[in-house]
Amino acid sequence: MLYITGIGRTKFGALPQTLQELAYEAMYNAVMDSKLSINDIDAIFVSNFLGGPLNGQLHFNSIIASLLPGINIPIVRIETACASSSIALKQALYSLSQFENVMVLGVEKMTSKTILGTTEAIAMAADRCLDQQNGLIFPAAYALIAQQYMLKYGINHDILEQVSFINHKNSRLNPLAHFFYKDVTIETIRKSPIIATPLNLFDCSPISDGAAAIIVSKEKKSDRDIEVLSSQYVTDAISITQREDLTSFKATRLAAKKAYSEAGLKPDDIDILEVHDCFTISELIALEDLGFCKPGESSELVINGDILKDGRIPVNMDGGLKANGHPIGATGLAQIYEIVVQLRGEAGIRQIKNANIGMAQNIGGIGGTAAITILGRS
Amino acid sequence: MLYITGIGRTKFGALPQTLQELAYEAMYNAVMDSKLSINDIDAIFVSNFLGGPLNGQLHFNSIIASLLPGINIPIVRIETACASSSIALKQALYSLSQFENVMVLGVEKMTSKTILGTTEAIAMAADRCLDQQNGLIFPAAYALIAQQYMLKYGINHDILEQVSFINHKNSRLNPLAHFFYKDVTIETIRKSPIIATPLNLFDCSPISDGAAAIIVSKEKKSDRDIEVLSSQYVTDAISITQREDLTSFKATRLAAKKAYSEAGLKPDDIDILEVHDCFTISELIALEDLGFCKPGESSELVINGDILKDGRIPVNMDGGLKANGHPIGATGLAQIYEIVVQLRGEAGIRQIKNANIGMAQNIGGIGGTAAITILGRS
């Protein structure tokens, strides 16, 4: 069994810190949260998506080495679009066949536009020839998905508004969330400008800066440690033009199947869930792909209050990508941070009851990559 | 013990193929070289450095999934500047605690300038604030290193010209090399234009397209399989301003020490060597950092013919980065490809005698990352 023995993150939002400062803060917090010192860390796995196109900075493993003078350990950078940090975690877990304690760091400085604009940079997660060059930026791609889903299952935009509303409401209990300070009403959501029909501004996750870090260890260090019950990822074709079905992500379904199997669990066993709501429609699809309801029935979970704090399966208690924020390279680790806080019983006013097993779903691009992590109380 | 059970590469050079076509060709060749089919591959580790800044394409793991329809396995992208592919190999080795056969792919399409110019893109491997923004592009950084080295050890540019000449001569025996077709004389080298004093054009490796792939397995499949005796990497501070000494790379020294220790070998045991000659000066420093001579004495290895095909320690028989080419994300795997071909005894007219153990040294940036791989006949 492997254990999460330390967690740390920064505030998410449009922040004054540099890429390096964000990275340092998250690593520092993770070490301080653990029973370890930085000298106990055998290797670091860094997740960063847009350091090149946005910050003019690649070779980020060596940047991290600069932040830790005299510590010449193996450090590597992983990039798999928005799923980068969950997949960095998996590489870290592989490495524990040889190490005792390793750190996983996710960081993104998205409000910097040193080289390119943000939309142009993010579009690099889609196929350049088939999608990008035809103008299929991400809000447009997810709008096509939302159109198909709404047509197929006969729902309207009201449900998406509810998803956005619930995530924003959750973020009001999370001081580190991008929109912690912001009261958002259904009225505000409904009246927000259209980005790509049917998606409006409040269907879209924000452009956030931020970092998160966790330490994983071969041995348990304290009663606050959380067990890694499963970590699985799979890939699928990158372009939306290569998919059989736009209303479900094959990569999520396959990764979830493997993860449930590895952990010996089923959806009913999950007490708390974090899903990748880069756009509101993505949350509905995730609930179905992960097996929490049948295809087309996730609206009912939303309407019935099942995904609320005291519901059957509380979802995105930190506010999700929508309201906690989406600093891309850090997003998967932020989901894991929230699950760990909840399973430890340290979530304060947003603590759910009976949190024994939690799951996080983190996807890259338009579902080209999907990573599932299942954690349990040790 | 782990084994390299298949290898494949493309021609290196300014090529007509796209990024995807290069990747596919190398993977295809590696599978065809092995006893396996693509369905036996459990996971893929992709190395690519400049897909974002040069090709407008990130999320490259999902691009690879598109090339292999119906194969939804874990695929991840690794980026650690010019050391990306050796470090992708190490991640693949970690994963063999859970898998049977995995593929490592390195690919770079550097002659494409979809987004940025090549020099600006490559500069992202250096610290943006401390190096890049002060104009310290890579030829300038290595020129400072060459100046220090020449001053400290009292050598002149003649030795660097010899290094370039030998690498170009070696490439004339390697049909897949970037400069296979090109006769290069000492006169040509000496008269080439200065890039950054004291380095001239022939001190610098070229801008190449290309790909290389290898398959690593938990079990031996044939007598052509090669054992992985060690794979180690370490990181150091990224900026040249943070180094104590410019005439030696601490990351190479530390990684080599770990690798020799893991393999239970010393420099005298190595029969064939590939070093990271991104600039000629880098080859001299590598020979010293790897322990093949004392600091300041590598010129003698060059003068005495020790690094030639029939010398004490044949170096860069494929032409090295200088003349085989330097498609950055593929470079480390191309080195390993050459070692494997030599250890198998399949190198044809460039085959060295008594090739039992080979070593490859692959660095990122100005020595911010260093990876050492030691291979042996099985």
CA distance A89 to chain B (A): 12
Confirm whether A129 is domain-assigned. no
- Are B57 and A236 inside 8 Å of each other by CB? no
- What is residue A59's three-state secondary structure? coil
CB B210 within 8 A of CB B327: yes
Q: What is the pLDDT of residue B114?
A: 78
The predicted-structure confidence for B244-299, as pLDDT tens digits, reads as follows 899 999 999 999 999 999 999 999 999 999 999 999 999 999 999 999 999 999 99
Chain B residues close to A87, C-beta within 8 Å: 74, 76
The angle at the Cα of B81, spanning B75 to B82, to the nearest 5 degrees, equals 100
The predicted-structure confidence for B318-357, as pLDDT tens digits, reads as follows 999 999 999 999 999 999 999 999 999 999 999 999 999 9
Residue A232 to residues A251, A253, A255: CA-CA distances in angstroms?
11, 11, 6
How large is the average pLDDT for residues B113-135? 92
Chain A residues close to B364, C-beta within 8 Å: 59, 61-62
* pLDDT more than 70, % of chain B: 100
- Are B59 and A128 inside 8 Å of each other by CB? no
The predicted-structure confidence for B56-99, as pLDDT tens digits, reads as follows 999 999 999 999 999 999 999 999 999 999 999 999 999 999 99
Rounded to whole angstroms, how far apart are CA atoms B31 and B103?
9
Residue B202, C-beta contacts closer than 8 angstroms, at least 6 positions apart = B161, B164, B168, B184, B188, B189, B192, B280, B322
Rounded to whole angstroms, how far apart are CA atoms B85 and B81?
9
Give the one of B60, B91, B250 whose C-beta lies nearest to A72's C-beta: B250
A-to-B residue pairs, Cβ atoms closer than 8 angstroms: 199
Q: What is the pLDDT of residue B115?
A: 86
- Are A62 and B250 inside 8 Å of each other by CB? no
- Are A116 and B114 inside 8 Å of each other by CB? no
Residue B270, C-beta contacts closer than 8 angstroms, at least 6 positions apart = B292, B313, B357, B358, B359, B374
Q: What is the pLDDT of residue A181?
A: 95
Rounded to whole angstroms, how far apart are CA atoms B130 and A305?
52
CATH number (domain holding residue A20): 3.40.47.10
The amino acid sitting at A293 is C
Confirm whether A269 is domain-assigned. no
Q: Which listed residue (A82, A168, A178, A276) is catalytic? A: A82
Please count the structural domains in chain B: 1
Closest CA to A332 of A79, A37, A124, A13: A79
Rounded to whole angstroms, how far apart are CA atoms A251 and B325?
37
Closest CA to A278 of A231, A208, A336: A208
Q: What is the pLDDT of residue B262?
A: 98
Indicate the average pLDDT of chain B. Answer: 97
Phi, psi of A210 (to 5 degrees): 160, 170
* pLDDT more than 90, % of chain A: 98
Q: What is the pLDDT of residue B26?
A: 98
CA distance A235 to chain B (A): 5
How large is the average pLDDT for residues A150-176? 98
Q: Indicate the burial class of B38 (C-beta count within 10 angstroms; 0-12, 13-18, 19 or more).
A: middle
- Residue A154 tokens read as 């006969």
The amino acid sitting at B357 is I
Q: What is the pLDDT of residue A169?
A: 98
Q: What is the pLDDT of residue B378?
A: 85
Count Cα neighbours of B185 within 13 Å in the Cβ-side half-sphere.
3
Has residue A344 got a pLDDT over 80?
yes
Task: Please report which confidence band the pLDDT of residue B103 belongs to, taking 50, 70 and 90 as the band edges.
Answer: very high
Residue in chain B lying closest to A68 (CA): B237
Rounded to whole angstroms, how far apart are CA atoms B68 and B47?
17
How large is the average pLDDT for residues A286-308? 98
DSSP B330-368: GHHHHHHHHHHHHHHT--GGGPPSS--EEEEEEEETTTT
Task: Please report which confidence band the pLDDT of residue B202 belongs to, taking 50, 70 and 90 as the band edges.
Answer: very high
Range with the largest mean pLDDT of A106-120, A265-279, B128-142: A265-279
Q: What is the pLDDT of residue A114?
A: 78
Pairing state of beta strands B272-274 and B226-235? Answer: unpaired
Q: Indicate the burial class of A183 (C-beta count within 10 angstroms; 0-12, 13-18, 19 or more).
A: exposed
Residue in chain B lying closest to A114 (CA): B128
CA distance A226 to chain B (A): 22
Closest CA to A246 of A92, A89, A136: A136
Give the one of B76, B126, B235 whose C-beta lies nearest to A78's C-beta: B76
- Angle at which helices A280-289 and A157-171 pack, to 10 degrees? 90
Task: Please report which confidence band the pLDDT of residue B112 belongs to, taking 50, 70 and 90 as the band edges.
Answer: confident
Closest CA to A123 of B357, B204, B22, B52: B52
| Known catalytic membership, residue B82 | yes
Task: Please report which confidence band the pLDDT of residue A115 belongs to, taking 50, 70 and 90 as the band edges.
Answer: confident
- Are A79 and B58 inside 8 Å of each other by CB? yes
CB A256 within 8 A of CB A271: no
Instruction: Tell me which DSSP letter residue B115 carries.
Output: S
Which pairs from A153-162 meet CB under 8 Å and 24+ separation? A153/A247, A153/A296, A153/A299, A155/A299, A157/A198, A157/A200, A159/A284, A159/A299, A159/A302, A159/A303, A160/A198, A160/A199, A160/A203, A160/A280, A160/A281, A160/A284, A161/A186, A161/A189, A161/A190, A161/A202, A161/A280, A162/A186, A162/A302, A162/A303
Confirm whether A58 is domain-assigned. yes
CA distance A43 to chain B (A): 9
Cis preceding linkage at B198, omega within 30: yes
- Angle at which helices B280-289 and B250-263 pack, to 10 degrees? 50
How large is the average pLDDT for residues A187-206? 98
Residue in chain B lying closest to A244 (CA): B70
Rounded to whole angstroms, how far apart are CA atoms A103 and A79?
16
Confirm whether B97 is domain-assigned. yes
Pairing state of beta strands B226-235 and B369-377? Answer: antiparallel
Judge if ipTM > 0.95. Answer: yes
Confirm whether A108 is domain-assigned. yes
- Residue A358 tokens read as 């939690």
Has residue B22 got a pLDDT over 90?
yes
Among A199-203, A219-223, A298-302, B113-117, which is the least confidently predicted range? B113-117
How large is the average pLDDT for residues A271-295? 98
The sign of the torsion formed by the CA atoms of A326, A328, A330, A331 equals positive
Chain B residues close to A64, C-beta within 8 Å: 235
Closest CA to A5 of A74, A102, A75, A84: A102
The predicted-structure confidence for A8-24, as pLDDT tens digits, reads as follows 999 999 999 999 999 99
Give the one of B75, B124, B236 whose C-beta lies nearest to A57's C-beta: B124
Has residue B118 got a pLDDT over 80?
yes
- Residue A39 tokens read as 């000298």
Domain that holds residue B111: 2-117+207-217
CB A56 within 8 A of CB A116: no
- Residue A118 tokens read as 């943000």
Residue B17, C-beta contacts closer than 8 angstroms, at least 6 positions apart = B10, B25, B109, B209
DSSP A216-264: EESS--STT-EEEEEEEEEE--SSGGG-S-SSS-HHHHHHHHHHHHHHT
Has residue A60 got a pLDDT over 80?
yes
Give the one of A49, A94, A238 whose C-beta lies nearest to B63's C-beta: A238
Confirm whether B43 is domain-assigned. yes
| Known catalytic membership, residue B204 | no
CA-based max dimension of chain B: 60
CA distance B29 to chain A (A): 22
- Residue B363 tokens read as 């660095």
What percent helix, strand, coil does chain A show, rounded to 5? 40, 20, 40
Confirm whether A366 is domain-assigned. no
CB B102 within 8 A of CB B43: yes
Confirm whether A303 is domain-assigned. no
Chain B residues close to A233, C-beta within 8 Å: 74, 76
Q: What is the pLDDT of residue A283?
A: 98
Chain B residues close to A57, C-beta within 8 Å: 124, 127-128
